Amino acid sequence: MLFGKKKSVAGLDIGSSSIKLVELEGKLNNLNLVGIGYENLPDTAIVEGQIMELNTVAEAIQSAFQTNQIKADQVITGVSGYSVIVKTIVLPPMSQEELEESIVWHAEEQLGFRSSEVNFDYHITEQTPEYTKVLIAACRKERIEILKQAIQFAGKQPSAIDVDTFALQNCYEVNYQPYETDVVALLNIGASTTNVNIVRGVTSLFMRDITMGGNQFTDALQKGLGISFQQAEAIKRGVRNQSQGFDEQTILNLLEPTMEYLAMEIQRTFDFFRASEEGYNTNVQKILISGGGSKLARLPEYLSSKLELPVEVLDPFRQIKVNTKKFDPDYLSEIMPEMALAVGLAIRGV
Ligand SMILES: Nc1ncnc2c1ncn2[C@@H]1O[C@H](COP(=O)(O)OP(=O)(O)OP(=O)(O)O)[C@@H](O)[C@H]1O
Ligand SMILES: [Mg+2]
């Protein structure tokens, strides 16, 4: 470029408990970490996936950029939860042009939304002489609008909005370069939502969002021990001086029913998958976990024994070059599970 600077795009994950920001540069097979940001949000800012305090969220976004000197002026963010529908529909064989003309009608008819109320995107996943399979992602318009506003209030430009589970898959594909026969379940355990995406090779076979996450563990401790949410949160995270007075076994006993519930919901997701056309005769071989909720002590082992599958922590920087002079490796490995989505979003931007 002779004049001006190249536009760079950062990945921004607006979670209900915190904001995660990642900037990458380079090509897909040669990525470098340029910047990373993390800002906590008060629990009143985003409730049930909805932004309630626009200014608080915008300020946190701005701060994530400023504190970490992230220069990107455009961002890609993601959506998940109940305002998002992702579904494959099967249509008669047709050309790309025919599909373009009729997709709105088919989507409305098969997914039961009104195109005036949602933003949607689609792409052909399979084309045979008998049928055309189309993956559709739709999100309520007001959800998209408020996300855009939060980003604009923070002084940035929203360049695209992705679906969280797709971004997670992106992160996995680039970092793990799976074989066509690999079948893994990607799990992102957040504060209030757990995204599940079952992927074979680089194809998503099944997705589901479970409406529970790390908050439920904190709730269990808060109620069981009669303490504040903040205290319960600290004990859950294993902050030593906070757990004085409560022995480890008591804490474990209080956490276990929630672990069991999560394992059951994941099992249910696998059962739905097995009952679907894509999942018939297909076994999940491994679970890769991410999200802050996955850092709960003993959770990986617990899930592994309940679900009888190996459980590994997804490393979002596995194939990304990180300058250890600029980024403290200890800090990075501590926040690594939370960064998976933001890395996946950032990958879309390069
Ligand atoms: N060391 C830890 N031990 C246990 N839980 C932890 C630990 N660190 C963070 N968490 C939990 O992780 C959750 C936050 O994870 P994350 O940042 O992925 O969620 P989020 O993106 O803000 O939420 P969501 O995606 O559900 O909107 C919180 O429930 C927090 O208590
Ligand atoms: Mg999240």
Domain ranges of the chain: 1-83+141-177+319-350, 178-314
Instruction: Give the mean model confidence (pLDDT) for residues 94-107.
Output: 92
Residue 285 is given by DSSP the state -
pLDDT digits (tens, 9 = 90+) for 141-191: 999 999 999 999 999 999 999 999 999 999 999 999 999 999 999 999 999
Task: Identify the pLDDT of residue 126.
Answer: 87
The CB of 337 under 6 Å from ligand 1? The reply is no
Q: 178-314 belongs to which CATH class? A: alpha beta
Q: Does residue 91 contact residue 132 with C-beta atoms inside 8 Å?
A: yes
| Lowest model confidence (mean pLDDT) among 2-16, 215-229, 283-297 | 2-16
For residues 91-105, average pLDDT = 92
189-203 per-position pLDDT tens digit: 999 999 999 999 999
User: In the structure encoding, which two tokens stand for residue 189, read together?
Assistant: 């355990």
Q: Does the pLDDT of residue 48 top 90, yes or no?
A: no
How many Cα atoms are found within 13 Å in the side-chain-facing hemisphere of 230? 1
The mean predicted confidence, pLDDT, of the chain is: 94
pLDDT digits (tens, 9 = 90+) for 77-90: 999 888 898 888 99
Measured N-to-C along each axis, helices 340-349 and 164-176 cross at an angle, to the nearest 10 degrees, of 80
pLDDT exceeds cutoff 70 at 98: yes
Distances, alpha carbon 75 to alpha carbons 12, 20, 28, 201, in Å: 6, 12, 18, 28
Assessment of whether the complete model's pTM goes beyond 0.75: yes
**Residues measured by CB to lie within 5 Å of ligand 2, the ion:** 15, 190
Check whether 1 has a pLDDT greater than 60. Answer: no
Tokens 């007075």 belong to 245
193 close to ligand 1 (CB < 6 Angstrom): yes
Other residues' Cβ atoms within 10 Å of the Cβ of residue 177? 12
**Are 133 and 126 spatial neighbours (Cβ–Cβ below 8 Å)?**
yes
Domains 1-83+141-177+319-350 and 178-314 fall in the same CATH topology = yes
In eight-state DSSP terms, residue 350 is: -
Residues 197, 9: Cα–Cα separation, whole Å: 25
- Which band of pLDDT confidence, cut at 50, 70 and 90, is reported for residue 111? confident
| DSSP-derived pairing of the beta strands 183-189 and 286-290 | parallel
- SS3 label, residue 161: strand
Confidence class of residue 242 from pLDDT cuts 50, 70 and 90? low
- CATH code that applies to domain 1-83+141-177+319-350: 3.30.420.40
Ligand number with the minimum distance to the CA of 81: 1
- Residue 62, ligand 1, Cβ within 6 A: no
